[in-house]
Structure 1
Amino acid sequence: MTRTVAVAIPRGVAAGNGVLAVAAAVGAGQLVAGLLAPGSSPFLAVGNAVIRLAPQAVVDFAKTTFGTADKPVLLAGTAVILLLVAVGAGLASRYVWTPGQVVVGALGVAGIAAVCTAPTFTPTDLVAPVVAAAAGLWVFRTLHRIALEAAEDPEAPSTRGLPRRTVLLGATTAVGVGALAAGGGGVLLGRGSIDSRAAVTARLAAATITREAPVPAGVDFAAELGTTPFLTSNDEFYRIDVALRVPQLRAEDWRLRIHGMVDRELSLSFDDLMARPLVERTVTMTCVSNEIGGDLISTARFVGVDLAAVLREAGPHGEQLFSTSTDGWTAGTPTDVVLEQGRGALLAVGMNGEALPVEHGFPVRMVVPGLYGYVSATKWVTDIEVTTFDRTSYWIDRGWGVLGPVKTECRIDLPRSFGRVPAGRVTVAGIAWSQPRGISGVEISVDGGNWAAAQLAAEVGGDTWRMWRAVVEVAPGSHTVRVRATDGTGALQTDQIADVVPDGATGWPARVFTAT
């Protein structure tokens, strides 16, 4: 009796089919999302869902381990997982297409679920993940059929007269190129903010703006010592957010709604905002995740509309401004802080002489001096609801403090950590901040010795950091320098060591160096 042996697709071809099917799904979803709603990309939606649902311990680990590279690492990890699943789906379908179809279908369902559960979901967002799932299933089934026919007899003519091997090669090439083109096209289509941002920069150049005095001479030691410049360039300004893909908004499409516990609801377009008085304010912004002596702090000149003035028009009665970004991120800002005389909170549209960079909130973001960004600095802001603190925002739900006032802190920039310097006169330099109180003094201590006053750079205002330096005499060997700051009210920075959670790190920074 003759036993019939089932035809199997070669392992490499089978694995490639799985990868191409998933790639086609991702590319199709990206393309449709770029056309309709960039935030509905199923690939990015899954990554965003991971961020939303991850336990706080996992989030803290990612931030500590990868810093500002946490989002690229997550995207790369997601891509690797998809690749492995796709290979497995293909290998499981060497004889029949069913296992691979089930896996690709499950991935499609996961993408749909991630999009549907996003905070900013609208019915239109369903189109991209549904198209992605359909594309993945169709490509897998089609490639499986062609590959199985080629495995039976590679040189036999297909229905089109070409050898089956040739048809398989052409099909896989077409799918691969198509997936890359679709994905790339989707990314390009989602970049609608480029021309809009250029137009806003031009409008700001021609606008009447109440300017601050020019930054005085002597505000930093950058030219002399190579230390931190007083103003941070836009491309060097620190960035912390949860957006896997930076929202791509056009100013002409932007609108802000102010509602909730107010006398009158406001709805403002970008033109409405630009028609109001524009003011310039120099502000140092600080992230609550900044470790002792860390670099998650920057200073820029922002241009925008006074937020307190806009809020007073609405007539607020609630204790919290619950602001929402277009990507669904939320923050809760104390209403009384924003309304405080001289606080200077902004709906910012410009940064360092141009429109806000896309990654820093274009077209409009909130800037509230003296509060950590997690409770105040909503980028791509589109909604502000006046409410109570009973409603909790993104980071509050994850165990962080509610109010988030900036603490008095400082940092050592010179000497470099574990650096080597010539023995003798050594320059120690750094920055200190205590928004909005300002800095009135900085002291350093070498090897546990007496505290000595450092020289302060010129002061711009309480809302900005202040540079300092000192010259010390050291002998050859290892040395430890410590620094502490005093704020504008005369209060000394605490020496108590505290973690960044729940409301910012504290402690006197120290640096070890070697004199030779």
Structure 2
Amino acid sequence: MTTTAPTPPRSETGDPVIARPWAAGAGLLGVASALAAGDLVAGLLDPPSSPFLAVGNQFIRMTPEWLKQFAIATFGTYDKVALLGGMAVVIALAGVVAGLASRRTPTPGQGVIIAMGVLAAVAATLAPTFGVLDLVPAVAAPAVGYGVFTVLHRALLAWAAAPGQHAAPEGTGLARRRALTLAGVALAGTALAGALGRLLAGSGTDAVPDTVVPPAAAPPPPRIPAGADFAASGTPSFLTPNDSFYRIDTALQVPRVGAASWSVRIHGMVEREVTLTFDQLRSRRLIEKPITMTCVSNPVGGDLASTALFLGVPLVDLLMEAGVQPGAEQVFSTSVDGFTTGTPVTALTDTGRDAMLAIGMNGKALPVEHGFPVRMVVPGLYGYVSGCKWITDMEVTTWDANPSFWELRGWSREAPIKTQSRIDVPRSEATVPAGRVVVAGTAWAQHTGITRVEVRADGGRWQSAELATEVGIDTWRMWQAPVDLAPGRHQLQVRATDRSGYLQTAQLQDVIPDGATGWHTISVTAA
């Protein structure tokens, strides 16, 4: 019995040509092995220096604001997943195209892999936390990818050059088996290197949140009253579970900082420089307060707002100990990944505002995604100026001396949260039973408080909603109201009044430069 081997393709000149599927696979495996090698070396040295992440982070830094806002509006808290997925697809397509262009010679594929390495090296050097060692993964990745692609291409070309007869001779079989073996080994090595790289990236801390028990605050936090929400009517629960708390930041690779190795330095326009370790910080006076945080990228009616019980050290204590000098305007905070925020000194030294360096969240240590081991939390200010995660440096300075990350990109310098309200139920475009419909939602005006919420249907008379029990001026407040809807299509609107007497404006404004405004408006059908 004889076996039949496919006739290897040949060019018009008779030169061997790699079959299209194998050429595409070789290109894809070449770039995949480069990424896996880069991840593995970065995992051994410093996970954020992964070429894949370095390029992604540089893309974030260079992305125009309209595109960032489109991504947040479209993907919400999954914007980073969408970015990484999109990058993976683009790189895979580049590998396939490079492989198809290399059916006769490896030069196009080799050139693409080298170009990817150069791009990774440039991205690494432009990172705000760049160190010379960050270039090692950027060099290792293309070196491995180049080698894998070249060896595999040579084997596939040898297979294509072998005699192509109806009854496969031994030479053709050996060439085929060698090419398939090399492809299998490369595929297995790529998968193993990628898995090890991911494993190393996730195991680089000397203490993780599950092993750190936050101490108790004295006095204990206020009890959340039973009537603090209308969850039975469809609003969120008053406290947001940690795994549901919104996350918007610039970190593609969540920094993994060990509690034992962490410290924060307070310096600049101060009388005394202060440096604190994690144990020193947690041994100080602690406060535990419910605080609603809101992202400036939250559109009217958006869900980028959450509430948690934060435990931390009052920032006013730390800044008083350091002694803020006259003329200081901002605290310029830096994360371990180089991200920066600028927070008004007046907000951090306000004894009536519970600004803190937080170490706990809802009775547990901070989750890694929300800044473990320490982050800044300042009630009443949008997160981009008040919520520096993984904080490690605080410089007391002036506004002009150090513009922060988002200020350099056109956002406002100071960012008080605007009075807002939204309809949580019914959902927009929902069909509801005709008659009396309970409309419920959420309103917030952090560090001012909500005193009134009004609802109307079809542009008619405003009616006051029932407010949930107020927990504090730094938290959101739920509301509900029965509305009579005849059969047909209807428009529902909501507006809020804060404790200062300010009535939420109807004027629509985009999130840039200092937060969205307008009345949340939805359409429903009563049937």
Instruction: Tell me, yes or no, whether TM beats 0.5.
Output: yes
What is the aligned partner in structure 2 of residue 345 from structure 1? Answer: 355
Distance across 2 between alignment mates of 1:415 and 1:407? 24
% identical aligned pairs = 54
Matches within 5 A, 1:326-475: 326-390=336-400, 391-475=402-486
Distance across 2 between alignment mates of 1:193 and 1:350? 21
What is the aligned partner in structure 2 of residue 294 from structure 1? Answer: 302
What is the aligned partner in structure 1 of residue 315 from structure 2? Answer: 307
Distance across 2 between alignment mates of 1:27 and 1:266? 41
What is the aligned partner in structure 1 of residue 46 from structure 2? Answer: 37
Q: TM-score, normalised by structure 1?
A: 0.94
What is the aligned partner in structure 2 of residue 282 from structure 1? Answer: 290
Matches within 5 A, 1:252-291: 252-291=260-299
CA contact 2:270–2:323 (8 Å) conserved in 1: yes
Distance across 2 between alignment mates of 1:216 and 1:210? 17
What is the aligned partner in structure 1 of residue 238 from structure 2? Answer: 230
Q: Matched residue of 1:163: which SS?
A: helix
Are 1:175 and 2:183 matched, yes or no? no
Q: State the shift of 1:412 in Å.
A: 1.1
What is the aligned partner in structure 2 of residue 513 from structure 1? Answer: 524
CA contact 2:450–2:497 (8 Å) conserved in 1: yes
- Pick from 54, 66, 87 the counterpart of residue 78 of structure 1: 87
Are 1:214 and 2:223 matched, yes or no? yes
What is the aligned partner in structure 2 of residue 120 from structure 1? Answer: 129
Tell me the alpha carbon deviations over residues 95-124 of structure 1, each in whole angstroms, 9 at most, x when there is no partner: 232222222111111111111111111122
Q: Matched residue of 2:505: which SS?
A: coil
Are 1:244 and 2:260 matched, yes or no? no
Matches within 5 A, 1:85-100: 85-100=94-109
**Which structure 2 segments of 5+ residues have no match?**
1-11
Shift in alpha-carbon separation, 1:363–1:193, aligned structure 2, 3 A: farther
Q: TM-score, normalised by structure 2?
A: 0.92
CA contact 1:38–1:248 (8 Å) conserved in 2: no
**Which structure 1 segments of 5+ residues have no match?**
none
CA contact 1:20–1:175 (8 Å) conserved in 2: yes
What is the aligned partner in structure 2 of residue 18 from structure 1? Answer: 27
Distance across 1 between alignment mates of 2:210 and 2:242? 18
Distance across 2 between alignment mates of 1:459 and 1:44? 43
CA contact 1:156–1:164 (8 Å) conserved in 2: no
**Counterpart residue identity of residue 401, structure 1:** S
CA contact 1:192–1:249 (8 Å) conserved in 2: no
**Which deviates more from structure 2 when the two are superposed, residues 394-403 or residues 41-50?**
394-403
Q: State the shift of 1:491 in Å.
A: 2.0
What is the aligned partner in structure 2 of residue 54 from structure 1? Answer: 63
CA contact 2:315–2:357 (8 Å) conserved in 1: yes
Are 1:5 and 2:14 matched, yes or no? yes
Matches within 5 A, 1:146-185: 146-153=155-162, 163-185=174-196
Q: State the shift of 1:207 in Å.
A: 4.5
Tell me the alpha carbon deviations over residues 245-297 of structure 1, each in whole angstroms, 9 at most, x when there is no partner: 22222222222222222222222221121121222111000011111111111
**Counterpart residue identity of residue 430, structure 1:** G
Q: State the shift of 1:148 in Å.
A: 2.2
Tell me the alpha carbon deviations over residues 440-494 of structure 1, each in whole angstroms, 9 at most, x when there is no partner: 1112223323222211111110000011112233333333222211111222222
Shift in alpha-carbon separation, 1:94–1:478, aligned structure 2, 3 A: closer
Q: State the shift of 1:200 in Å.
A: 4.5
CA contact 1:349–1:355 (8 Å) conserved in 2: yes
Q: State the shift of 1:209 in Å.
A: 4.7
Shift in alpha-carbon separation, 1:95–1:450, aligned structure 2, 3 A: closer
CA contact 1:192–1:250 (8 Å) conserved in 2: no
**Which deviates more from structure 2 when the two are superposed, residues 428-437 or residues 99-108?**
99-108
Runs of 4+ in 1 over 6 A off after TM superposition: 154-158
- Pick from 325, 328, 331 the counterpart of residue 321 of structure 1: 331
Q: Matched residue of 2:243: which SS?
A: coil
- Pick from 103, 113, 122 the counterpart of residue 104 of structure 1: 113
The CA RMSD over aligned residues, in Å, is 2.1
What is the aligned partner in structure 1 of residue 144 from structure 2? Answer: 135
**Counterpart residue identity of residue 267, structure 1:** T
Tell me the alpha carbon deviations over residues 215-244 of structure 1, each in whole angstroms, 9 at most, x when there is no partner: 01211111x323211111111111111112
